[in-house]
Amino acid sequence: MNTTPTRLVTTTTRDGGVRVVGAGSRYRRSRRSELLIWWREIDRVLLALILTLVAIGVVAVAASSPASAHRLSTSTKQLSDLYFFWLHLRWLTVGLVAMFIASLLPKEAARRLAILLCAAMIVALLLVPVIGSEVKGAKRWLWIGFSLQPSEFLKPAFSIAVAWILSWRVRDPNLPVMSLSLVLLGLTGCLLMLQPDFGSTMLFCGVWFVLVLLSGLSITRVLWAIGGAVAVVIAAYLFYPNATHRIDNFLSGGSEFDQVDLAMRTLLAGGWNGAGLWLGSRKMALPEAHTDYIFSVIGEEFGLVVCAIVVMVYCAIAVRVLLRLVDEDDLFTILAAAGLTAQLVGQAFINILVNLQLFPSKGMTLPLISYGGSSTIALLLGVGFLLAITRRNPYLSRESLSFPELTRK
């Protein structure tokens, strides 16, 4: 017989009475209450859109896995057709758990965790040139029991860190927040260019520009920023071999351009309705079918209609976040949510434009859809931060701007 005493806790009822319950039942009730609060405050529409992309990604990786498995098989090691599909499910499970835990955090805790993550990933980027693993001529990974790509985890952390710095101007307009954020961007860009990773550098610059623009940058500074961006691209083309190679191949043809051309032909091969799951043939010759060019596999096997749906889901995510921020009065919340959305949707459209032969090859995956290890976890962690930052008490009323007020001069 169990003789361990049960610790009793008294709680007050709504009518003023006293109820005695066990500590364990109180704990369970507390956890249940936290989950109910989370469910009420979370943006369920945004969550549904994210999970829609994740579900599309599971099917797309299953469709593209045979092509990559056959391409990477050797005479000594044969990969099964669904090799990357089963791996993707493992990483996806870890990523969904990370997303859920991050979305449970209060806004302040999410901000602190992201800032610490940003600092840790910058330290990791400093270590990459020294002890990093090289794959296909690029040194972007650290081996810590598994392959970690610091730049992927830095993406969501960078957006929140820059938003935090720019929000300081609310407390003190004289703080040099633009210069401080530019220092962080410059350090990040230099470390990425050493790998080399020109595509991610441009994505970080784009996110920084969006945040600075939303923070109240004057038109003069906007023009200076645009001029500076053009100067950086020209300088990169003239003095940075990786950028020169990619831009030249895009403009005049070459190995990278051939891949993009093959990707577009694969994308159009399925027509409007697609060939059907595992019935595509052009994908078998497509390099990186499960990562960089998975959008083309979707086009061949499921058709251009599904491709259009994927694009619309990404657009819906951006619109949903903007609607969520319309009556938000906290500058950090606005900047952080906008930065995370710009990073997610911006990377998606760069990948799609590459597949459409409208942009030089960047080596970027299609967020939440492509196969990935640490990149999948990092993207879902970023989504968790976005859900945490946009959480809102539904019982608190806010002053919102009406259409006449928006159009009033």
CA angle 271, 285, 281 (to 5 degrees): 40
Q: How far apart are CA 293 and CA 258, in angstroms?
A: 13
Query: Cβ distance 205 to 189 under 8 Å?
Result: yes
Distance CA 388, CA 15 (A): 34
Please give the model's pTM, rounded to 2 decimal places.
0.84
Is the Cα dihedral 298, 302, 304, 308 positive or negative?
negative
Could you tell me where the DSSP H helices lie in 21-106?
Answer: 23-41, 44-72, 83-104
- The mean-pLDDT minimum among 22-31, 257-266, 288-297, 307-316 falls in 22-31
Tens of pLDDT, residue by residue over 87-112, are 999 999 999 999 999 999 999 999 99
- Residue range 378-396: average pLDDT? 88
Other Cβ atoms closer than 10 A to 213 = 13
DSSP state letter for 363: -
Give pLDDT tens digits for 270-316.
888 888 888 888 888 888 888 889 999 999 999 999 999 999 999 99
Give me the pLDDT at residue 243, please: 66
Give the model's pLDDT for residue 218.
64
Two tokens at 64? 């593209």
How confident is the model over 181-208, as pLDDT tens digits?
889 998 998 898 888 787 888 899 899 9
C-alpha angle 128-130-131 in degrees, rounded to nearest 5: 70
Average pLDDT over residues 170-185: 85
Between 250 and 46, the more confident residue is 46
Average confidence score pLDDT of the chain: 82
Q: ∠ CA(305), CA(310), CA(312), 5° rounding? A: 95
Backbone region of residue 216 per phi and psi (left: phi > 0; alpha: psi in -120 to 50; beta: other values):
left
Q: What is the pLDDT of residue 401?
A: 42
Q: How confident is the model at residue 18 (pLDDT cuts 50, 70, 90)?
A: very low
